[in-house]
Amino acid sequence: MDLPTMEDSKIIFALDVYDRDTGIELAKNLADQVFAIKVNWPIILENGIKIISELSKYSKIICDFKLADVENTDKLITEKVAQYGAWGIISHAFTGIKSLRAVVKSAGQMKVFSVVSMSQESYIDNVYDKLVDDSLKAGVFGLVAPANRPDRLKKIRDISGDIKIIAPGVGAQGGNIISAIMAGADYIIIGRSIYDSPDPIGAIKKFNDEATKL
């Protein structure tokens, strides 16, 4: 499938809106400026899972469903998401390697990303190294780690080799793109600073310029 997505962009746009038309319009207008678009529960809950196929016409779609269940339930959800043409899916890692392996096994062509640390403090802060270890053993494609906590991000990069890291927390959550990339992020996830901007295309262009300065 030929997508207009800009392969050299380091931005993953977090499309956290409810409304279908708003979501489609943003995806259409911004797809050629971003590496991928990430959807979360808001747009799915409002419009159903078919919205993944609709949005996939414009960009690679990563489903941020943060799977966190026993292996069979995670497998059932992952298989269903794959049927709708998502490019990637995000799972939690704290449920353990059995669940992570089930997600990787049932993902088919989809890339699996696992959350090893969050952009706000949480109980998984105490075990991020184990979560990285399990994620690597399970064979995930990439990790989710915080852009707005560069010290933590750097520690994660140091123990993860060259696996892809996608990092939320820039803009609305206080992080900045340069320190996140310097700490080891490959792609930066940005939502509100783009879709709440009066000029979303201009906002993405600014972030792209900043990211490519390095």
Residues at the site binding ligand NUP, with contacts judged by CB under 6 A:
14, 16, 40, 64, 115, 118-119, 144, 146, 168-169, 171-173, 189-193
Give the nearest distance from C-beta 2 to ligand NUP in angstroms. 27
Q: Is 64 a catalytic residue?
A: yes
CA distances from 80 to 42, 89, 107 (A): 18, 11, 9
Cβ 167 to ligand NUP, closest distance in Å?
9
Q: Which C-beta is closer to ligand NUP: that of 72 or that of 122?
A: 122
Nearer to ligand NUP, 23 or 191 (CB): 191
Q: Binding residue per annotation — 72?
A: yes
Whether 196 is catalytic is no
Residue type for position 33: Q
Amino acid at 180: A
Catalytic residue among 32, 69, 129, 133: 69
- Which residue lies nearer to ligand NUP by CB, 6 or 12? 12
Report the amino acid identity of residue 43.
I
Catalytic residue at 32?
no
User: 69 and 40 in contact (C-beta within 8 Å)?
Assistant: no
Rounded to a whole number of angstroms, the minimum distance from the CB of residue 114 to ligand NUP is 11
Chain position whose Cβ is nearest to ligand NUP: 191
The active-site residue out of 60, 64, 111, 155 is 64
Q: Which residues does the annotation place in the binding site?
A: 16, 38, 64-73, 119, 168-178, 191-192
Q: Which residues does the annotation place in the binding site for substrate?
A: 16, 38, 64-73, 119, 168-178, 191-192
Query: Active-site residues: which are they?
Result: 64, 66, 69
